[in-house]
A and B are shown apart, each in its own frame.
Chain A
Amino acid sequence: MGRRKVMVIGLDCAEPSLAFDKYAGVMPNLRRLMKKGCWGLLRSTIPPITVPAWTTMVSGADPGELGIYGFRDRTGYGSYELDFATARTVRVPRLWDVLGDAGLRSTVLFVPQTYPPPAELRGSMVTCFLTPGADSDYARPVELKQTLESSFGPYIVDVPDFRTDDKPRLLESIYAMSRQHFAMARFLLDKDDWDFFMMVEMGCDRFHHGFWRHIAADHPRHVPGNRFADAGREYYAYLDRELGTLAEFADADTTVLVVSDPGARTMKGGICLNEWLLRHGYLALEELPDRPTPLHRLKIDWSRTKAWGEGGYYGRVFLNVRGREPQGIIPPEQLDTECEALKAMLEAIPDEHGRPIGTVAHRPRDLYPVARGTPPDLIVLFGNLDWRSIGSVGTGAIHAVGNDTGPDDANHSWDGILVASGAQVSAIGRIDGAEVRDIARTVLGLFELAPPETMGGTGILSGVRRVREQGA
């Protein structure tokens, strides 16, 4: 065997029921990899959201170990403020750190939570969609920025003006971003001397949020035969063509992993978390807004507030505890009781017709062996992800259609995709039980490197080989 290499192609939010089933016929390159290796569902983290899930994927550390529970986390119990979870928030080593220590070179493109880039890196990096803009310091080595701009124009960090009803323009913007990113990837696959290559393309996620109602028959506002009904098939077919061009850079000694996190599903609506907390006496405002307003723009009366929430594809609830929060009012000895009571009430919120929706609320201590940083007191999955959490206040209603920041069709689902192919992967077909946190250890296993102690999970492919050998 020659020089071992690993290529990880990440498609944010690529949905298994589409990639493996509905659109399988237009994805010959993915099917070829599946046939030569193994494939299955890839279970996301709780919460199943881009940050922290991709960092779990490249570190093997769960959100509790990372102390990262969303895009913005509290800066500490001594403050009500939130701050962005950036690359600097990640304390555990990620794949390229471990590989770099072992003398191996990585090319890392668009992987969430890579901004700001490290001072030094053994390899190349283009940072993620949390990069402020094309004028930012987004590349390593530093001169790579100029090289890429001269060939591909200004870096398209993300889809501009995402919340829009101008769907044709949105679709073109998604394609433009994806085309540029894949072109950069091919350029660096060719130019770099890499042992480990990884890219994460966000276009698939943006497509789902923008177009899910048009492609999913179970969406409440789906119109059969609409003008974008085939847009999903076309976009997945396009992704597959890009996948094929990247796979051409994989020689006989390269293992290719195609992964997504999470998947996508129909969003039935939104639960206005802070409206609900207001109505039930948990949250008090000095003045009620007359239009939907994000909570951070409102004055909270902390002396009468027991809990407040954050919106997103899942909800986070924080309790205002005396001696813990700056103006806490819940006696610390009542924290458990209050938390359990609120959990039960949130789980009982019905839909707008009074029907149960199956909400699940978790306490971080029940999810993770350790919960570092400043975890929320409750992580709330409304309708087990059928509904999103809406943080704004001002409608007076508990239920909402779509999102508080503009049209949105999809929510995240629990499972993404995993496809593995290469000389070190047996053609074993479908595998079950793989999780996002298994990927880092799997990659290190392919290089026969020992994982750091913070790297949880299981080496998937070694397990697959063992199963096959025992079964043979």
Chain B
Amino acid sequence: MSGYVIWLTGDRVRMDALAEALRAGLTGTAPSIDVLTAEMVEDRLCAHEPRNADFRDVVVRRLAWLCQVLARNGGAAIAVAASPRRAVRDEARRGSDRFLEVLVHGTMPDGYEPPLEPALEVRASDAAYSVVDEVRRTLAARGLVARPPRVYTPEEEARVRERVEKLGYA
């Protein structure tokens, strides 16, 4: 089983809840699933860095490196960072071929540079289970996790289809 990185960028406010939902919903797709936030990296890996104009980029780069190491070893990492600069995110994406950039629409930080081709776009208001489902399907399409089971087996679909047609709905 290969690891993967899910990189949440954009509206930071609801990312924690989304990341937790992803961690729970993707259980079983990797031996470990870690949620890593920019704030964790700030506190534990950047405590002595000068708080200059490049500080945010340093944090994002170190977060990306951590995620890449986890993914390289078969684990899954969910990165939670507004990460407003496109070029720094592009660096992160280039560092791993198992990288899913997920743009979370909503209240964006000042000067936010949206990705030109995000793997997925979700809204901060989307139902968490729906985001989990979409992320899982996107990961599966890239061969990074097993395909989620279809809602209906072929036999079940035939039963429901016949019912719906007889009820006049189709």
Contact surface of A with B, Cβ cutoff 8 Å: 49-51, 70-72, 84, 86, 88, 90-94, 97, 101, 115-116, 118-120, 129-130, 132-133, 136, 158, 162-163, 206, 209, 294, 310-313, 388, 391, 403, 405-406, 408, 452-454
Contacts and interface: CB of A to CB of B under 8 A. Distances in A.
B47 interface: no
B168 A408 contact: yes
6 contacts: A88-B129, A92-B130, A129-B163, A133-B159, A408-B168, A454-B123
A311 B127 contact: no
Contacts of B159: 132-133
B110 interface: no
Contacts, number: 89
B130 A403 contact: no
Contacts of A388: 168
A405 B125 contact: no
Contact of A313 (B152, B157, B169): B169
A209 B127 contact: no
Interface of B: 17, 24-25, 123-130, 133-134, 151-153, 156-157, 159-161, 163-170
A-B residue pairs, 8 tightest by C-beta: A132-B156, A91-B130, A93-B127, A452-B125, A453-B125, A86-B151, A71-B169, A163-B166
B163 A158 contact: yes
Given A86-B151, A132-B156, A133-B159, A92 B170 contact: no
A398 to B, nearest CB: 19
B125 A49 contact: no
Contacts of B157: 84
B151 A209 contact: no
Contact of B126 (A88, A92, A313): A92
Contacts of A391: 170
A118 B166 contact: no
Contacts of B125: 92-93, 452-454
Given A84-B151, A84-B152, A454-B123, A130 B160 contact: yes
A120 B127 CA distance: 13
B127 A310 contact: no
Nearest to B167: A162
A368 to B, nearest CB: 16
B129 A119 contact: yes
Contacts of B129: 88, 97, 118-119
Contacts of B160: 84, 130, 132
A88 B163 contact: no
